[in-house]
A and B are shown apart, each in its own frame.
Chain A
Amino acid sequence: MNDARSGVLAAVREALMDLNGRTRTPPPPTIFGETDESKATLAQHFATELQAVAGRAFIVRDRAECGAALASYLLARNVRSVAVQSSPFAQDIALQLDGFGVTSAVNLDRPELERCDCALLEARSLLADTGSATVILDNSQDRVLPYLPRTCAIVAELDSLHATFTPQALECIADTASAGARGEALIVTGPSRTADIEKVLVLGAHGPGALAVFIVEQP
């Protein structure tokens, strides 16, 4: 194995021989800045963008209103069972879902997770200009949650909403990486899709066919 490693690296170094004076300083990273729009305006922008990719956004006042809006959305989609990510915020919202079979994802095996109608996740940041949500998935059960159930619901605080890929928006990914965490930071934008057959858009390819984000103004 070491032979292969040194062989590849030697081949790379030899190939770069003509660049003896190569720069050791990378070009400055492209930083995408915040805008001066209010959070309320950004939330509307987020909702419009998410809708454009067949998702839905609900802007709610507090956790109680979030629970009610979520329950109503799930009922409309005939959802009966919900698997919840191991995040305190998502778990707290899930407590308000009376009449649904609610279980923590960590307590379910893969077939059970697949039989669940809906996944409930917490977004650590939201990106308004694409309608995207960033979720951190650090255990094996949570990692399959965004894909296995037919419906995906995501809750997030309004404060986590940013105009675009700003450094603040991506802090959760950078922090997760620098803390030596394992697993995955996932940016999800709308329901799963494909256009592999004659470029015709089809939703629910391998993951959920429906995705909704609930933005809580006063969590």
Chain B
Amino acid sequence: MTTSFNRKEVARAFAHPVAAAGLAATLERSVQSAHQARAQIEWETLRSAAHDVKAYAIANLDRLLTQFESQFTQRGGGVLWAQTADDAVAHCLDICRRHHATSVVKGKSMVSEELGLNEHLSRAGIDVVETDLGEFIVQLADQRPSHIVGPALHLSRQDIGKLFVAKLGIEYTDDPQTLMSAARTRLRARYMQAQVGMTGVNFAVAETGTIVVIENEGNGGLSSAVPPVHVFLMGIEKVIPRLADVPLFVRILARAATGQKISTYTHHFLGAEEGKTVYCVIVNANRTKLLADPKTRQSLYCIRCGACLNVCPIYRRAGGFAYGGTYAGPIGAVITPQLTGINQAGELPFVSTLCGACQDECPVKIDLPHQLVYLRHRAVEHGAARASMTSRGIAAWARAMRDLPSYQRSVRWLRRAAALGRRIGWYPGVLAAWTKSRTLPQPPKESFKEWWERTR
């Protein structure tokens, strides 16, 4: 899995301003819907409350996870623990083998994207199909999701129409309703054939062992209810203390993600009914690295709503693939370096303007900008990223200000450089991009000190 900042993808996005503008407009509509939906409730009070519940849950993670395990097991479910991504994949493969599964249907699961689970299952001869429409589209296109909530947002309806002609053999159409119907027909048969269904988890309730899955399409319900075996995949951070906390998160999640008051389906799964086998795979896969660092611990509060992506000026222009990993946008820039290693993804925290819009939008009030700054420091310390132009500029300025002669020399040099730049109209090297779209200021002919000495 690629996890570093993808410069080629950024260049591609900037080379197609119309497509980029389309993505930005789509995301802006999401933001407007979210703001309208938020205005109807006491948003600030609820997000503070959600922040506090998540803070408690993360601070008591060991206890809540074992409580959840105990409750889930009492309801006939099996809990499998995975320290690494490989362990989680091994559990899934083992379940499939044990139940003689040759066909798997999958609801949305970001953890499974993180694990590269589809590839592993396919290599083991298991036919796996994504059932969320957006995920189904990107699977057909042999791509990764570009957005946590809208995996195929980077594709136009025309792109999808052509894809369905090539992969599903239907006549070309760019009508979303017809395209959805084609996918529905194809997937209905797959639900009926599948021996195993897999879904992600929005919240795991420690108190009751209930697993809450929130979705709009009904594919999560079908993936869970139709096959005889259901596997939940969840990161360790998904646990919340009580059933009474669920309404709070249900109210804020849909509003932040899509601007709905509530999603169409809020499932409260209660273990295994008669004739059903249910597993929950609890995955660490480096989440404890985020947990161990008090400065990044908050990122585990994330409820994967995608709101921070929708408002991020970088994401809006560059799209999700620019981030290289499973998680895009500001939250991706924070968690990916920790999950995959700062040396591999150290540049990601720099993919932000630090404007703070992500923090303002976050329904659980994660302080993303400060975490990005902190991770920038770490990336530079580890040699995973070069110090930014700003940092290097400030370092040079500090050297210039060390004593009076240095300062005077520097100012003289800068004035000459500025005058030269003004004459030729541009600066070379790293300053070229800046001068391409801005008029250089005219430097004064003499310094204040020179003027003072001349005129006093």
Please give the residue numbers on chain A whose beta carbons come within 8 Å of chain B beta carbons, in ascending order: 1, 4-5, 7-9, 11-16, 18-19, 22-24, 26-27, 29-32, 49, 53, 110-111, 114, 129-130, 132, 137-140, 143-144, 146-148, 165, 167, 170, 173-174, 176-178, 180-200, 202, 204-208
Distance between A123 CB and nearest chain B CB, rounded to angstroms: 13
**Is A12 within 8 A of B268, CB to CB?**
no
**Is B305 interfacial (CB 8 A cutoff)?**
no
Which chain B residues border A176 with CB–CB below 8 Å? Answer: 270
Q: Which residue of the partner chain, among A8, A187, A197, A205, contacts B262 with CB atoms under 8 Å?
A: A187
Please give the residue numbers on chain B whose beta carbons come within 8 Å of chain A beta carbons, in ascending order: 26, 29-30, 46, 49, 52-53, 56, 59-62, 65-66, 74-76, 80-83, 87, 131-134, 137, 150-153, 156-157, 160, 176-177, 179-181, 184, 187-188, 192, 208-210, 216-219, 221-222, 224-226, 236, 241-248, 250-251, 258, 260-276, 282, 284, 288-289, 291-292, 294
**Is B160 within 8 A of A30, CB to CB?**
no
Distance between A10 CB and nearest chain B CB, rounded to angstroms: 9
Distance between A41 CB and nearest chain B CB, rounded to angstroms: 17
Assembled-state Cα–Cα distance A219/B365 (Å): 45
**Is A206 within 8 A of B187, CB to CB?**
yes
Q: Which residue of the partner chain, among A1, A24, A129, A198, contacts B81 with CB atoms under 8 Å?
A: A1
Q: Give me 19 A-to-B residue pairs in the complex whose CB atoms sit less than 8 angstroms apart, sorted by A's number.
A: A14-B292, A15-B289, A53-B264, A110-B226, A138-B273, A143-B221, A147-B225, A174-B243, A177-B210, A183-B273, A184-B270, A186-B265, A189-B266, A196-B152, A197-B133, A206-B187, A206-B188, A207-B217, A207-B218
Which chain A residues border B292 with CB–CB below 8 Å? Answer: 14-16
**Is B56 within 8 A of A202, CB to CB?**
no
Q: Which residue of the partner chain, among A18, A23, A143, A199, contacts B273 with CB atoms under 8 Å?
A: A143
Assembled-state Cα–Cα distance A53/B30 (Å): 16
Which chain A residues border B224 with CB–CB below 8 Å? Answer: 143, 184
Ordered nearest first, which 6 A-B pairs have the shortest CB separation?
Answer: A207-B218, A165-B247, A196-B134, A15-B292, A205-B217, A29-B244
Which chain B residues border A4 with CB–CB below 8 Å? Answer: 80-83, 87
Assembled-state Cα–Cα distance A24/B57 (Å): 10
Which chain B residues border A170 with CB–CB below 8 Å? Answer: 243-244, 246-247
Q: Which residue of the partner chain, among A9, A173, A198, contacts B65 with CB atoms under 8 Å?
A: A9
Which chain A residues border B261 with CB–CB below 8 Å? Answer: 49, 129-130, 189
Q: Which residue of A lies closest to B56 (CB)?
A: A26
**Is B219 within 8 A of A206, CB to CB?**
yes
**Is B273 within 8 A of A147, CB to CB?**
no
**Is B262 within 8 A of A132, CB to CB?**
yes
Assembled-state Cα–Cα distance A129/B41 (Å): 11
Assembled-state Cα–Cα distance A130/B255 (Å): 12
Distance between A19 CB and nearest chain B CB, rounded to angstroms: 5
Which chain A residues border B269 with CB–CB below 8 Å? Answer: 184
